[in-house]
Structure 1
Amino acid sequence: MRIARPCLLLCSVLPWLAATPARAGEQGHAHGHAHDHARELDEVVVTATPIRQAPDDITRPTEVLSGTGLDDSRAATLGESVGQLPGVQSSFFGAGVGRPVIRGLDGARVQVLGEGLAAMDASTVSVDHAVTIEPFLADQIEVLKGPATLLFGSGAVGGAVNVVDGRIHEHAFEGTRGRVELRGNDVADERAGAVRIDAGHGHLVLHADAYHRETGDYAIPGPAGRSADRHDHGHAGDHAGGHDHDEGVLPHSATRTRGGAIGASHATARGFAGIAVSRHESRYGVPGHSHDHGDDHHDHRALSPMNLSAAHDNGHDQGVAIDLRQTRIDAKAGLDDPLPGHETLRLRLGHARYAHTEFEDGIAGTHFHNEGHEGRIELVHAPLADWHGAWGLQASRRDFTAEGEEAFVPPSVTRDLGLFLLERRHWERLKLEMVHAMTASMSSRRPECRHDGSMP
């Protein structure tokens, strides 16, 4: 006797349906016990916006890396650390350079911030210039997408990436706490370590941190050069200049980064004030600048920043390397109920002296210098007719110079001034945010000085 397929299907489903209520009851009972022991996660608050809120409460697209998520994605560069987020990539000009790219926009269109202030480096001038903000010791990395990031400058139309390092504490605590982290990989023979210590007593909180990272040449599958380069040199096994040492590695991609900071803050129930001094140094190779030495075969072993000088003395091809350094001073203060009708006041001040030198085969070439000052004040007002918002003022000054044969950017002094107003209102199923910003920028070419101090 043939049994219709619908009957077979019904007979197979009925036993499962009969068992479903009992299973559902068992699962509900199990979930009930699980809820009794549920762990409450720490609240994540975005600090880059004047009104501090959770990412889900912000109208514009926002991504936040913190906790174990940040530990899993933390990398040697800021761009690589956030490169796995939706709509975010990292620029790559060697292992030492990685600037965030948001929705295809990069350079000056994406603002890189440290505790709400600009990095004040030269990373927007050229793609091979590194960002001086170190992600290794970050407490939180915030990625803001969209034009609302005009709150951080007229050029940040693509977005902003804010690194919260916690060097200036906003809240007091008692005792000592710290963190030690060691990392390594075999792709570039990376060896990295960082240590951080925070100590609080009464209203005083002290902070100290240090980090060091060193990598060799980046490992790649196969040769570094193109097949055309090998044919040009007439050696089937040669590449990227005709030398066998390039097989499996990216020449001149070694890096060395180190730095640290100390900070102190005074925090009470109503507000805080603090200051931090930091130093960042990095030396890294720039791939893609190999030189043809013809039949003069030197010992082209894989180089690292630690032996670049020795390699140059022995006649090795070092390619192009960049040695950068920055000393930075940051101050931050906050006050609750500062003025009638206002909830909070936040003040940030920053000063940085940045310089880097480009070396070609160990010989110093172009020198870049940047001295920056920046200040920002934010006031959050109390709700007014169901509108909650903030207004603020930001000012900056940058003195930039480039000296050398490849100095394509003239020396200049740039001054920026901006006033912004942010208002938002929430309905039951609708969130509305309005931003109004007025900016003024003035850039003037600074007269060049000869080495004797006279004007040309």
Structure 2
Amino acid sequence: MNINKRRIKSNPIKCDRRGKKEKCLGLKCVLVFLFSLFLNLQYSFSYVTDSIVKEINNIYKVSGKIVDTETLKPIPFVALHIDKINRYTITDANGEFIFNSLPKGQYEIDISRLGYKERSINIDLEEEPNLILTIKLSLITFSTDSLVVSADNYNSISQITGKSYKLYGDEIRRNFGITLSETIARIPGVEMRSNGVSTTRPVIRGLDGYRVQLRLDGNITQDVSATYSDHAVTMNSDNAIEIEIVKGPEALQYGSNMVGGIVNVIKNIIPNSMPKKLNGVISMSGDLAAPGGGLGIQTNIPIKSQSLSVGLDLNGRYHLDQITPIGTIKNTYNQNTDNTIGLTKFTKWGYIGGSFSSFLSNYGVAPNDKGHLEGVHIELEKYGANIRTEIYPKIDKITRFKIDYNYANYFHLELESQSPRLIGMEFGQTNHSLNFTGNHNALGFFDEGIFGIDYTYTDYIVNGAGTPHSESYDIGAFLVQEIGFNRLDLKIGSRFDYANRNPKIRKVSDLIGKLESKNYYSLSGSISSTIILSERQTVSISSARTFRPPSLDELFSEGPHLASYSFDIGNTNLKAERAWTSEINYEFISSRVMVLASLFRNYFDSYNFFMNTNQTSNRYPDLYYYQVKGVEAEMMGFEGELYFSITNKQSIKSSFSFIKSDYREDENSSFKPIPFTPPLKISTEYTFNFTNGNTGVIYTFSDKQDRVGEFETITENYNKLDLYLQYNLINKKKLLRASTLSTLSINVQNILDTEYYNHLSRIKDLMPEMGRRFMISYKIYY
């Protein structure tokens, strides 16, 4: 159909006859107004709250200096991280650091810097408001200590934090990619679903979509990337401080749907600690297989006279069509800009801050001879606002209250590539969420815990299909407690959820059933324990009962989705998805060897997914019907890592992952493979360390996947070889009147230009993965 001037009512963005969006002046004006209002409210709120709670404030500060053990000279650019409350800082040129605005409690500070032994220190903030430390670090020779540091960057199973994996520093720079999925894809058990280089999304242990939550600074990424494979994630991991995958009881604070895990990118755009001086990072990157690159800057600007800190995160990317061993794939370009400004006011009782963000993107979906000869163009806009406050009351046992409000307005337009351009579909979504959490210290026989409530509202509309205008409400309350014994750490969590799915239109559809309001209730829980067998060995065991209410598209979809080459049919009789999960992990660490192994099982009472019916639409004969069904399903697998230090400067790291997943539609049916299950993957990495960096080679083997679902094609095995180099340099010259640390990372992926296919790619029958790929990243920390 020709594009007519029309509007998605829940979203103030329109389309003209050329398929281009008018500038949303109304929304931008509103955001400017809200920003001005926020500044006034911030000062008013701070003044009023100061007068109310000035007698019960409980603010602490930790500062100090880090020096070399032998020379006693200060060490610049040392990273310090308090993981428990997400505080991060680095030392300046004089080796000095400071943590401002800390709540009372006991904390562990992780300290790391390339070339020095990583260490952790414990602090107790109870009586002394200003703690001053002098910390000594010792040089290492990159053998055993390098091995342990690398392992910690990947995995922290033995820690009772709920975080199964963490990436930061060198690991993030080494694995950098265009998208978040590329950056974390080398973690065992993590794969990448894609519909081209622009639309990747993490898959964890065979689970994707809504089963894997993506979050930025703890707040869920409000977009529609979980719905269809051609929808992009509206977040990049450039300049991330840390990337963590949260599992276990602690994941309950993010929702009852934690079966796949929570991927949380930490940037601290809203500053939560007053920086001592101006600091930040400038990043530049380039890519020859997806020709183009990116440019970004992240900085924190202190305004000490006003107790303010301004945070900026500005990023842009431009990539042309991707190049594969069989040639350039048309219409796979990617252009986006992701920008955020944050502001925090620090007070006597904590802080209050806010941020405003925009994500703008144009990207292409590859052509398909089944109906999209020129491909599909997607134009995307998202605007957001976030207000956050932390209050540290002088209340016995309570250490912190945290309140988070988030707003997001999302819109994207799918356009046929031929001329004149035709609108395929329009997606609009508006989200409001409010979260309240509290932390406490020792209470009864519990050592510490976290509790809270959260609320999310979503207004969702699709034009170009029969999917009705719909809305959803989600309310939850959770409690997570930790108990420590001599050789046993135990964590227990529980959560109650209520969810409502409400179509704005009431009717009876021949395809999806009766459209009416749907309500879902659930009590979920999780328990995990870590047993210390010896100084070198630990075992951890965890189990959970999870809950995921159906999404709006799973219930009410009814129409073609041209960019994903499907005609999607919802199911109004769909039950909530519930699963039992269990996992056992073993860890062994010696002076030269580290072994990590995991066994897991996920059993679903009702596993909801779009199934290919092998029937085509009468109106769209090139599109197959995909209908949502709830089935019994089981997923079992294992993962492992092995680290071995060969010499003082050389080490080998191997990892493997395997999963077997099956489903059946009823008790009388036999089990069948679940579509898009990752194959066995084995990776071996050789690393050579030198004074200011490291270099290495990575060999990857992916087995043939012939356990495929109905109407799914087999993917052959492949072998791939990658090379990387990292080099770090401290620049004594001044940039912005500060010393700088420069890091250069070079990756050469698929050195042999192998033609290979990703089994989780939704367009693997159309195109292979990228060929020989030269990537470079240069960062300047100041």
SS of 1:69 mapped into structure 2: helix
Tell me which of 362, 365, 376 is aligned to 2:435: 376
- What is residue 257 of structure 1 aligned with on the other side? 336
* Shift in Å, 1:339: 4.0
Alpha-carbon offset, residue 196 of structure 1: 2.3
Partners in 2 of 1:348 and 1:338 — Cα distance?
Answer: 21
Task: Look up the match of 1:42.
Answer: 80
The residue identity in structure 2 corresponding to 1:418 is G
Say whether the 8 Å CA contact 2:162–2:251 is kept in structure 1: no
Structure 1 residue 200, shift from structure 2 partner? 0.3
Query: 1:170–1:265: 8 Å Cα contact kept in structure 2?
Result: yes
**Do residues 106 (structure 1) and 208 (structure 2) align?**
yes
- 2:449 is aligned to 389
Residue in structure 1 matching 2:272, options 166, 170, 192: 170
Distance 2:366 2:430 in 1: 28
Q: Classify 1:446/1:280 alpha carbon distance in 2 versus 1 (closer, same or farther; 3 Å).
A: same
Q: Find 2:180's aligned residue among 75, 78, 82.
A: 78
Quote how far apart the aligned CAs of 1:47 are.
5.4
Aligned counterparts, 1:242-321, within 5 A: 248-268=327-347, 270-290=349-369, 318-321=374-377
Between the aligned partners of 1:93 and 1:180, the Cα distance in structure 2 is 30
Q: 1:347, 1:271 → 2: CA distance?
A: 12
Distance, in Å, in 2 between the alignment partners of 1:81 and 1:410 is: 36
Q: 1:277 offset after TM fit, Å?
A: 0.2
For residues 232 and 406 of structure 2, what CA distance do their matches in structure 1 show?
19
> How much has 1:286 moved relative to structure 2?
1.3
Q: CA deviation at 1:81?
A: 1.5
Distance 2:195 2:365 in 1: 7
In structure 2, relative to structure 1, the CA distance for the partners of 1:122 and 1:338 (3 Å cut) is farther
Question: Which amino acid is 2:482 matched to?
Answer: R
Change (3 A) 1:66 1:44: farther
- Secondary structure of residue in 1 paired with 2:80: coil
Q: Does 1:207 align with 2:311?
A: yes
TM-fit CA distance, 1:279: 0.3
Structure 2 gap ranges (5+): 1-67, 88-104, 111-155, 507-782
Q: Compute the displacement of 1:323 (Å).
A: 1.2
2:487 aligned with 1:429: yes
Compared CA separation, residues 382 and 371, structure 1 to 2 (3 A): same
Contact 1:146 1:158 in 2 (8 A): no
- Alignment root-mean-square deviation, CA: 2.6
Matches within 5 A, 1:392-407: 392-404=452-464, 407=465
1:16-35 matches, within 5 Å, as: none
Corresponding residue SS for 1:93? coil
Is contact 1:172-1:268 (8 Å) kept? no
Map 1:166-245 onto structure 2 (within 5 A): 166-202=268-304, 203-222=307-326
Which deviations, in whole Å up to 9, do the C-alpha atoms of 1:355-410 show, x marking residues without a partner? 00111114222000000001111111221134111110010000000110xx3643
- Residue 408 of structure 2 is matched in structure 1 by 352
Q: Aligned pair 1:410/2:410, yes or no?
A: no
Aligned equivalents of 2:412, 2:79: Cα separation in 1: 42
Q: Return the offset for 1:156.
A: 2.9
Corresponding residue number in structure 2 for 1:152 = 254
Aligned-partner SS, 2:383: strand
Aligned mates of 1:212, 1:390 — CA distance in 2:
37
- In 2, Cα distance between equivalents of 1:287 and 1:44: 44
Q: Distance in 1 between matches of 2:277 and 2:216?
A: 26
State the alpha-carbon separation in 1 of the partners of residues 403 and 311 from structure 2.
Answer: 20
Task: Kindly report which structure 2 residues correspond to 1:438-449, keeping only aligned pairs within 5 A, or say none.
Answer: 438-447=496-505
- What TM-score do the two structures reach when normalised by structure 2? 0.44
In the alignment, the residues of structure 2 paired with residue 382 and residue 179 of structure 1 have an alpha-carbon distance, to the nearest angstrom, of 35
How far apart, CA to CA, are the structure 1 residues paired with 2:253 and 2:449?
Answer: 13
Q: Structure 1 pair 409/143, CA: closer, same or farther in 2 (3 Å)?
A: farther
Offset of 1:175 from its aligned partner? Answer: 2.9
What one-letter code is carried by the residue in structure 1 that aligns with 2:449? G
SS of the residue aligned with 2:230? Answer: coil
1:45 aligned partner, one-letter code: D
2:278 alignment partner, SS class:
strand
Report the Cα offset of residue 292 of structure 1. 7.9
Q: TM-score scaled by structure 1? A: 0.74
Could you give the per-residue CA deviations for residues 49-83 of structure 1, whole angstroms, max 9, x where no partner exists? Answer: 9x987755335452122222222223211111111
Matched, 1:343 2:447: no
Deviations 1:120-146 (A, max 9, x none): 111111111111122123222111135
**How far did residue 35 of structure 1 move?**
6.1
Task: Give the 3-state SS of the residue equivalent to 2:240 in structure 1.
Answer: coil
Secondary structure of 2:233's aligned partner: coil
**SS of equivalent residue, structure 2 residue 257:** coil
Give the letter aligned to residue 255 of structure 2: G
Distance in 2, Cα, partners of 1:216 & 1:187: 9
Q: Is the 2:483–2:490 contact (alpha carbons within 8 Å) kept by the matching residues of 1?
A: yes
Greater percentage in helix: 1
Distance 1:290 1:261 in 2: 40
Q: How far apart in 2 are the matches of 1:338 and 1:319? A: 60
Deviation sequence 1:181-234 (CA, Å, 0-9, x none): 110011111221002232102210012232110111111112xxxxxxxxxxxx
2:560 is aligned to none
Which structure has the greater CA radius of gyration? 1
4+ long deviations beyond 6 Å: 37-40, 51-54
Q: How many pairs are equivalent?
A: 365
Share of identical aligned residues, percent?
26
Partner of 1:57, secondary structure, is coil
The amino acid of 2:325's aligned partner reads P
Greater strand proportion: 2
Which of 119, 128, 141 matches 2:230? 128
- Distance in 2 between residues matched to 1:258 and 1:426, nearest whole Å: 46
- Opposite residue 392 of structure 2, the aligned amino acid is D
Alpha-carbon spacing, 1:377–1:425, altered in 2? closer, same or farther (3 Å): same
2:380 is aligned to: 324
Deviates more, 1:388-397 or 1:62-71: 62-71
